[in-house]
Amino acid sequence: MEKLLLVTYLPFNRIHEIKKYFDLSVKAAQPDEVMIFIDNVVDGFQKELLKEKIGYKIMTGNWGSRVLTWISILEEFEKFEGRMLVVDSDNVLDTGIGEIARSWKETFLTFMDWEDYVNGSRGIMPRSKKIGELEFGTQKRPLYRFSVYNGSLFGSGATFFIGPKQSVLMTRKLDKDLLNRLKKSVEQLPKSLLKHISDETLLAVIAYLMGLKEVCWTVGTKHYHSKPESMDNVQLKLMKSVNALAHERLADALYKEFRIKEFRTYRRKYMLARLKNALYSIF
Helices 233-258 and 176-186: angle between axes, nearest 10 degrees: 140
- Tens of pLDDT, residues 3-31: 999 999 999 999 999 999 999 999 999 99
Decide if pLDDT at 160 tops 90.
yes
Confidence tier at 139 by pLDDT (50, 70, 90): confident
Q: Which of 2-16, 77-91, 149-163, 178-192 has the lowest mean pLDDT?
A: 149-163
Distance CA 152, CA 156 (A): 8
With beta carbons less than 8 A apart as the criterion, state whether 93 and 12 touch. no
Distance CA 90, CA 18 (A): 9
For CA atoms 118, 124, 125, 131, the dihedral sign is negative
Cα angle, residue 207 at apex, residues 91 and 212 outer, rounded to 5°: 125
| Per-residue exposure over 37-70, b if at least 16 CB sit within 10 Å of its own CB, e if not | bbbebeeeeeeeebeeeeebebbbeebbbbbbbb
Decide if pLDDT at 234 tops 90.
no
Q: How many percent of the chain have pLDDT more than 90? A: 84
- Tens of pLDDT, residues 94-116: 999 999 999 999 999 999 999 99
